Structure formats: C-alpha cells, structure tokens
Amino acid sequence: MTQVVERLIESASKQGIEVKGVYGSSSSLARQISRGAPADIFISANTQWMEYLEQEVEGVEPAKNIASNQLVIVSGTHKLTLERLDDLSTWNKVLNGQRLAIGEPNTVPVGIYAEQALRKLKVWQTLSKQTAPMKNTRAVLAMVERQQVPVGIVYVTDAIQSKQVNIVSAIPTHLYEKIKYPAVLLTDKAVASQVYKTLYSKEMREYLLELGFTPLTK
C-alpha cells in the first residue's frame, strides 16, 4: 500500500492539502493509534487489526475496503520450481537446508496469511522451524532479492514491482483468508474527509489495477 499512499499524498498536494504518510506494519500502527498517536486516516493490510482499532477508538465510522491482494512464492533465481505446495519433499528440495522468508506470523498480515495457507497445505508444522520471520512484506522481499533465502512468501503486488525476483508459484486463494485492505476515517476534519474520499475515486481504482490489486470499490 506504500505506493497507494504516495499517490494519495500526490493527489492531495494538487488540491493544496499537505498529507504526511506514516508507514509500518498494520499491527504496529494500530497499536500506536490506539495509544493516542495522531492519525486522520488508517489503511490496514489486515481486517483483524482494523477491527481492533475500531474497538479501541470511539466514534469512528465503519471501515471500507479499498482492494484485495493475493499471495505468491518468489525466488531470486529463474531456476527454482515448486510443483506441489503440499509436498514436503518438494519444499525440502527448494529450501535445501536454508530458510523460508515470511512475515512474522503472529502480528504481520503477510505472515498471518502465509501461516494460514501452509497450515491448510499441512506443511506448517515442519516449515515453521525453517522460517525467517520478517517485520513486513518489504523485508521479506529484500531477503529474497539479496538471495539470503531461496524463497519467500509475499503479496503479488510487491512481487511484480521488483525486477530482482521471479514468481515461482501463486498460492491458491482458498487456502487463506481473503486479503482485503480496509481504510477508516479517524477524524471529522473536512480536509481529512476530502482525502479519504480520494481512496474510492475512479482515478485510484485505475491506479490500484496498475499495481496488481483488485479494487473493491464501486
């Protein structure tokens, strides 16, 4: 969502509105806001952290979904293949004693979704001991780009923006909770409301498609 926020800032600037983006994991940002950190709009990569914030902050309107995403397995080389995601011998061959980069599965959305998928594939119990948990999807991607790990699990939108990784396999979407990006307006400031509405504009929908997201707005 970094590029989406940057486009939002650019669009607001053209209207004479200054917007400052604060980036971090959904869990970290939600906790900071619940403790009083100033924020006008919150965009989350996970519905559970949005629900947490809605419970913690009084008087906010229900969040609205912007877009959806999906998980893919990426590698820093063209040579790797993963024919069967539910076959541990295939994973062992690909990992070759190295680690699988994922988001931190207890707090980071991309890691939460990755764990859900690997559990349904019945390979989590073994692979969990071989993971390299990272603080966000960009950190996972960086590990793969630098070839510090043979493969990692990231969002398809991050994978297609990188020239240094290859998509080894898409993870079927029925294996994990639908990845939705909700946004919520946290203040009653007129300018904040104006910027918030831009998230659901035709221009933003077209930009989301360019980035590989599936827009969920009408």
Tell me, what CATH number does 61's domain have? Answer: 3.40.190.10
23 with 75, same domain? Answer: no
Cα separation, 28 vs 100, whole angstroms: 23
User: Which pLDDT value is given to residue 177?
Assistant: 94
Cα separation, 47 vs 177, whole angstroms: 10
110 with 185, same domain? Answer: no
> Average pLDDT in the 113-125 region?
98
49 with 96, same domain? Answer: no
Where residue 92 falls among pLDDT bands split at 50, 70, 90?
very high
Handedness of CA 178, 107, 72, 176 (dihedral sign): negative
pLDDT at 178 over 80: yes
129 with 40, same domain? Answer: no
pLDDT at 72 over 90: yes
User: Which pLDDT value is given to residue 24?
Assistant: 85
Cα separation, 55 vs 173, whole angstroms: 28
- 155 annotated ligand binder: yes
Number of domains into which the chain is organized: 2
27 with 63, same domain? Answer: yes
And the tokens for 82?
Answer: 């993963």
Distances (CA, A) of 141 to 22, 36, 151, 184: 20, 31, 9, 27
Residue range of the domain that includes 62: 2-68+178-215
pLDDT at 218 over 70: no
Q: Helix, strand, or coil here: 64?
A: strand
109 with 125, same domain? Answer: yes
133 with 187, same domain? Answer: no
Candidates 19, 2, 8; CA nearest to 187 is 19
Q: Indicate the residue type of 101.
A: A
Domain boundary among 170, 187, 207: 170
Cα separation, 50 vs 80, whole angstroms: 36
User: Which pLDDT value is given to residue 67?
Assistant: 95
Domain boundary among 152, 170, 188: 170
10 with 26, same domain? Answer: yes
Local structure of residue 150 (DSSP, 8 states): S
77 with 60, same domain? Answer: no
78 with 152, same domain? Answer: yes
Domain boundary among 134, 149, 170: 170
158 with 76, same domain? Answer: yes
Q: Indicate the residue type of 204.
A: M
User: Which pLDDT value is given to residue 206?
Assistant: 95
78 with 64, same domain? Answer: no
Q: Helix, strand, or coil here: 16?
A: coil
> Average pLDDT in the 152-159 region?
96
> Average pLDDT in the 110-115 region?
96
